[in-house]
Amino acid sequence: MKYQSTRAEVKDKGISISEAMLIGLARDGGLFIPKFLPAFCANDFGENLNETAYRFLEIFFMNDQLENNLREICDNTFNFSIPMVHLEKRIEILELYHGPTGAFKDVGARFLAYSLNKLDKHLTVMVATSGDTGSAVASAFHNMENIDVAVLYPKDRISEFQEKQLTCWDNNIKSFRVDGDFDYCQNMVKEIFNSTNRSESLKITSANSINIGRLLPQCVYYVSSSLEYYKKYDIYANYIIPTGNMGNALAAIWTKLMGLPIGKIILASNINDTIPIYFDSGIFKSKPTIRTIASAMDVGRPSNMERYLNLKAFYNFDLSEISAYSVSDEEIKSAIKDVYNRFDRIICPHTATAFVVMKKIDLDSCIIVSTAHPSKFIDTVKPIVNCEIPIPKNMENHINNPANIIDIQTIDDLMDKITQ
Ligand SMILES: *Cc1c(COP(=O)(O)O)cnc(C)c1O
């Protein structure tokens, strides 16, 4: 399999997945996508998640230098459970939060980390985070010998627990607290990427969801859950997916196009409604970011939209099965309360957006994608449900280590302190 930029011509000869993961963002500013999406059928897969991961990803690594490491990479990535849990009727919840930092981003971050580590090159991984990506990346890369990690996060715009998760590291991980918002952090990273001098001296790659190495492994849980759902109910699974940068939802859309039993794909956004506006009007226009209580989805310019628009241009698929809705903070709060009262289940504010949408469109068969553990957002959730939210064992590692924080304001600050 070869990969090319979303901005390249179809006849472009493409590069390997290892190269695409190392570069992160294509030189022309586009995002890497596979040359084609292969077709699968139900009996192509294994009994457990690791085996399914390997069989699904094999073709994407064909003829790549990591081909023979893929099984080990999958085993290391998928070493925690991703259960589909019954709620009521034909409604299931896909719990993506049992990894070491309690968000679905553990899957992509771990896969990317184990892959890059096998390539045995000296690298700096840069990541701007609105909260969850940074800790997933830090945890995945911690103590890897040849790879340094710089995490940039916006001061005073993440939860207290998230900040703890971002700053409890040492050795090869540096956490930069930036005096600015998430877009400002992301722009710093982009500027370093675009400046040849700076990026050559650091040999950087990006661990944001623009990196194809994070996106492909996310398809795996859509493969396994849609097959499980089909087996159980004999119908295609509709998914409701809390969406910010559109990485997780794009993985679901790719998986559907590859032939898995997936029906509707419904995207739930907070009031940052760039994506719902696009699906309603066909017009894609980025907007300034608005702060919400589902902060990991506070994105005004969803970068994976470029991959979606590319798909639309090259594949002839039925768009009516994909839709998007915007949800307010008030609706999020009342969904958290309602789900707790009715099902005795505590959900995070992001997962709550999917519950709001399910009710809005009155869907009675679906899989709700649960993107994070509620304890990460205890400041928001606890006052609503009024009970203790214990931190699960899998998230406890490192969390009580002393915080290592480097405060910065400008890109020159960052360049000075990154090499110290
Ligand atoms: C990142 C994140 C999202 C949004 O996922 P995208 O792939 O950016 O659309 C939703 N929920 C949580 C908890 C997240 O951390």
DSSP codes of every residue in 36-102: S-----GGGS-SSHHHHHHHHHGGGGTTSTTGGGHHHHHHHHT-S---EEEEETEEEEEE---STTS
How far apart are the CA of 70 and the centre of ligand 1, in A?
A: 26
Ligand 1 atom at shortest distance from the alpha carbon of 132: 15
Ligand 1 atom at shortest distance from the alpha carbon of 247: 7
The amino acid at residue 399 is I
What is the token pair recorded at 160?
């207290």
> How far is the C-alpha of 23 from the C-alpha of 116, rounded, in Å?
11
Residue located nearest, by CA, to atom 8 of ligand 1 = 245
How far apart are the CA of 296 and the centre of ligand 1, in A?
A: 6
Name the residue of 104, 356, 395 to mutate for ligand 1: max ligand atoms within 8 A of Cβ: 104
How far apart are the CA of 45 and the centre of ligand 1, in A?
A: 27
A 10 A CB-CB count for 232 gives 13
What is the token pair recorded at 222?
């859509």
Average pLDDT, the chain: 93
Name the residue of 107, 212, 350 to mutate for ligand 1: max ligand atoms within 8 A of Cβ: 350
Instruction: Give residues (CB < 6 A) around ligand 1.
Output: 103, 105, 132, 209, 242-249, 296-297, 350, 371-372
The amino acid at residue 327 is V
Name the residue of 132, 292, 306 to mutate for ligand 1: max ligand atoms within 8 A of Cβ: 132
Residue located nearest, by CA, to atom 1 of ligand 1 = 296
pLDDT of 385 reads 97
How far apart are the CA of 130 and the centre of ligand 1, in A?
A: 9
Name the residue of 371, 377, 395 to mutate for ligand 1: max ligand atoms within 8 A of Cβ: 371
Name the residue of 105, 289, 369 to mutate for ligand 1: max ligand atoms within 8 A of Cβ: 105
Residue located nearest, by CA, to atom 14 of ligand 1 = 296
Ligand 1 atom at shortest distance from the alpha carbon of 348: 13
pLDDT in tens for each of the 420 residues of the chain? 999 999 999 888 999 999 999 988 888 889 999 999 999 998 889 889 999 999 999 999 999 999 999 999 999 999 999 999 999 999 999 999 999 999 999 999 999 999 999 998 899 999 999 778 999 999 999 999 999 999 999 998 888 888 999 999 999 999 999 999 887 898 898 888 877 777 777 788 888 878 999 999 999 999 999 999 999 999 999 999 999 999 999 999 999 999 999 999 999 999 999 999 999 999 999 999 899 999 999 988 898 999 999 988 887 777 789 999 999 999 999 999 999 999 999 999 999 999 999 999 999 999 999 999 999 999 999 999 999 999 998 888 888 899 999 999 999 999 888 877
pLDDT of 209 reads 79
A 10 A CB-CB count for 298 gives 22
Residue located nearest, by CA, to atom 2 of ligand 1 = 296
> How far is the C-alpha of 29 from the C-alpha of 284, rounded, in Å?
18
How far apart are the CA of 47 and the centre of ligand 1, in A?
A: 28
How far apart are the CA of 256 and the centre of ligand 1, in A?
A: 19
Q: Which residues of 17-32 are buried (b: 16+ CB within 10 A; e: fewer)?
A: bbebbbbbbbeeebbb
Q: Which of 372, 46, 73 is nearest to 228 (CA)?
A: 46
How far apart are the CA of 55 and the centre of ligand 1, in A?
A: 26
How far apart are the CA of 152 and the centre of ligand 1, in A?
A: 17
